[in-house]
Amino acid sequence: MNQGGAEHVSRNLLERAHYYWSTERRTRPKDKLRRLLESTGRFKVKVTEEFRGCTAETLNTYDLVILNYDGDFPTDVPPNPPIVLGNRAENAICEFVSSGKGIMFNHSAIWNTPWPLEFHRMMGGWCDINAGSRKNPNTEFPIKTGSTVHPITTGMEPSWVTVQEDLFAALVWHPDANVEVLATAFDDLEGYRKIQPHAAYMIPKEGPERMRGVNQDQPVAWTHHYGIGRVFVITIGHGIETIRRPSFVGLFCRAAEWAGTGVVTIPWPDLKGENRRRTWPYYQPCSIREFSALVP
């Protein structure tokens, strides 16, 4: 594939709306991620909501797969058993990535419920409720850039703040993992003092002070390799307002381009000067006033 700026990166978004949210509610992040990527002019996006039974031939024309999966959690909401892709589809994804293509695991897709062990190896790190992984109740917290030399994060702001976001903590790392952490967030102990009732099961009887990794920085974005393929994992991206943050926009788009091609040509959103009037997703020259005229 020609990797020049005028070419497109084909990208297949595997979306499975599950957990206790309704499908209608979960379409909002899906549609925003699609618009976000296509606004750069570098992506042609196809959304696939049912991937079970698919084969390597299904992925043959793509450069990048993004898993945007929301699986079940052991809460008191009505149970939703995990949807397993099945050996054929799972093997197709493993072969796709190991052959030199790219994959992104987005947000809740890092929870281990539906995935085979080979996906754990691919991700490098994941969340497992039985190993102490959890969600900090804080919804607004700083994201700190962990690496300024990786092509994805070169030029990224040193820190920025999320809005209505999930902070997953106490990840499990594969013994063969060799990840490069690009961004972190602090797992503040005080956040657990105000934990919501539906998430209280995450706190051990000994109290939150005894939890693994509490009061430490937690990786929220990292790269990994699987075979000769590229892997990017991002654990944030729950909140619509977080997805609208310029730093998230740049991070997500640049990571997708890196995972799909191995290079990064997409700039960070430029909101200086007259560009300060641009509306989300910032890569298109549409001002807030022009956008408002389009919306009833």
For 9-42, give one letter per residue: b (16+ CB within 10 A) or e.
bbbbbbbbbbbeeeeeebeebbebbbebbbbbeb
Whether the CB-CB separation of 198 and 265 falls below 8 Å is answered with no
- The token pair at 150 is 């990786």
- The token pair at 242 is 């977080």
Is the pLDDT reported for residue 211 higher than 70?
Answer: yes
Structural domains for the chain: 9-294 (3.40.50.880)
Please, what sign has the CA dihedral across residues 70, 179, 12, 246? positive
Place of tokens 């589809």: 89
Q: Mean pLDDT for the chain? A: 86
Across 197-204, average pLDDT? 82
How many angstroms separate the CA atoms of 97 and 94, rounded? 5
Is the pLDDT reported for residue 265 higher than 50?
Answer: yes
Whether the CB-CB separation of 252 and 32 falls below 8 Å is answered with no
Whether the CB-CB separation of 177 and 224 falls below 8 Å is answered with yes
The percentage of the chain sitting over the pLDDT mark of 70, rounded to a whole number, equals 83
Across 277-286, average pLDDT? 86
- The token pair at 27 is 């379409």
| Per-residue confidence (pLDDT) for residue 5, from 0 to 100 | 33
